[in-house]
A = this chain, B = another copy of it.
Amino acid sequence: MSGVTRSMVPLDVPLDKRETFREHLDKMTGGSGRLMLFAGDQKVEHLNDDFHGEGISPDDGDPEHLFQIASRARIGAFATQFGLIARYADEYRNVPYVVKLNSKTNLVKTIQSEPLSRQWLAVDEVANLRDENDLNILGVGYTVYLGSEHEAVMLTEAAQIVHRAHRLGMCAILWVYPRGRAVTNEKNTHLVAGAAGVGACLGADFIKLNCPGESEAIENFREVARAAGKAGTLCSGGSHKDEKKFLERLHQQLAAGARGSATGRNIHQKPLEQAIRFCDAIYAVTVDGASVSRAMELFRGDPGA
């Protein structure tokens, strides 16, 4: 019996697309209602910093690495830019895709100019790519920088993208990050809870958040998860760290109400086989409700896993 219920289908999905939408959600969450997102939009967001350098597997220098992981690991969805999907998906047809519709580079810092990331392509163009090629594109993604002086531009684009995705039977995932000169602590729990609420008001199905600091994660995250209401919150993985600690923290976040995880660098900076096993571990915790020790067995490739 699926954890994806009628109540997860927003009313702006047309009647004749609601069953499809529910099936997409079911597929993305393995019937759990919880999403393990493999986030792979960093080639723009962080340029080549996440893909080449000390501590990064040479495998990661080629964008195909992302598709190889996404194709062979257990994941809920792989989020990346349209151009890469158009170039690689012919050979990676089984991957469940989410098209990230905006991206900016990290060259201009907030101190120089307030963050602004704009929509690259229309949701209809994504739907068309899906339909013409029979691809497994389940949703779209978009980042909003709350507290930027350009916030208004992104709030409008986000609202329209979410709505248009729903009209076309697709899910919408918003990355909602407080950022700008007005924001002094991007990870403050109360502020992140506000971001979760904004995502809910924009109609997002899932909201990717910069989750609050570790020690108080469980108690504090409840405020965030509650603020999002029926929309699901995804905890962002952040920078590279010890795998066991990573999974423990994720387990706590889920216990506190998170409806999923979004991980990028911690996966793709590993060599292919290791990256695949780490995906599987994250997926087990997020979707299957596995324990951390069971997930670590998967990561280590324990034969009994």
Contact = CB atoms under 8 A, between A and B. Distances in A.
Contact of A229 (B12, B53, B63, B85): B63
Nearest to A160: B121
Interface size class of A (residues with CB under 8 A): 35 or more
Contacts of A129: 11-12
Contacts of A43: 194, 197-198, 200-201, 227
A223 B52 contact: yes
A147 B108 contact: yes
A156 interface: yes
Contacts of A231: 87
A10 interface: yes
A44 to B, nearest CB: 5
Contact of A49 (B7, B41, B162, B194): B194
B197 A47 contact: yes
A159 interface: yes
Given A48-B197, A84-B229, A120-B156, 17 more contacts: A6-B90, A10-B86, A12-B125, A43-B227, A51-B197, A63-B229, A81-B202, A84-B203, A86-B203, A88-B230, A103-B155, A105-B151, A107-B147, A108-B147, A108-B151, A109-B182, A118-B153
